[in-house]
Amino acid sequence: MLRYLSRSRKGKWLVVLTVLLLAGIPAGAQTNPHKEHMVGIRGGYAFNGVSFNPDRKQKMVPSYRNASILYTYYHDLWKTMPYFGLQTGFTYTQQGYETPDLKRVYEVLRIPLTSQFHIDFWKMRLLINLGCFGSYRMSAIDYTIDVPDGQQVEFDSNHLYLDYGIQGGLGLSLVLRPFEFQIEANYLYSLSMIENPALYSNEYYTYGYPNQLLFTLGIFIHL
């Protein structure tokens, strides 16, 4: 239990530091002429898993249900970093895992907050993402040998709705104004558990932290 509390505190500090970096834009920076605004949509394919301790012989669950509506703001950070951007929006995605006896898939609504550094060359951009996210697990379905079509999970106090974590990744974009086409690979790791560690036993705790490897394609419009 002490290990979990220590890990939880470290995770919360990581999120706080990331938010401070993302939000730390002085008012003076707003006068800098280097600004770009974009809105767009993004979709892709993900590999979802959960890091359990003790191990449950779990496997990753693939998912194609990943769609986002995003706003991106490129600007100079503190008048010294001309390749900085801030991105946020809404994402519909899934979390899940598969064990020898069960496959569970969660439907998730996520809000990312990402600093997107970009290196521009020719009509291309190299994208470097670093940020955090908050999520809400709306529902879950269990697939078993006896119920291959799936059965709705009845959420209770042992199933945790709220989720938060950190994310990072790389991407490449093609700029053909007013459009911009992006391809990205991002890894997301939750710092909150997927269920109560005492769900199965008050003496034998099980810790589970979701993770996701997400590959996406996106199209944006410059405003």
User: Which residue segments constitute the domains of the chain, with CATH numbers given?
Assistant: 2-24+35-222 (2.40.160.20)
Mean pLDDT score of the chain: 87
Residue 2 has pLDDT above 50, yes or no: no
Q: Report the half-sphere exposure of 20 (CA within 13 A, side-chain side).
A: 6
- Condensed to tens digits (0 to 9), the pLDDT of residues 154-170 reads 888 788 899 999 999 99
Cβ proximity of 47 and 95 under 8 Å: no
pTM flag (> 0.85): no
Angle at 92 between CA 91 and CA 93, to 5 degrees: 110
What is the spatial distance between Cα 221 and Cα 182, in angstroms, rounded to a whole number? 11
**Amino acid (one-letter) located at 170:** L
Across 15-24, 92-101, 116-125, 193-202, least confident range: 15-24
What is the spatial distance between Cα 48 and Cα 65, in angstroms, rounded to a whole number? 11
Residue 173 has pLDDT above 50, yes or no: yes
pLDDT number for residue 155: 85
Residue 22 has pLDDT above 70, yes or no: no
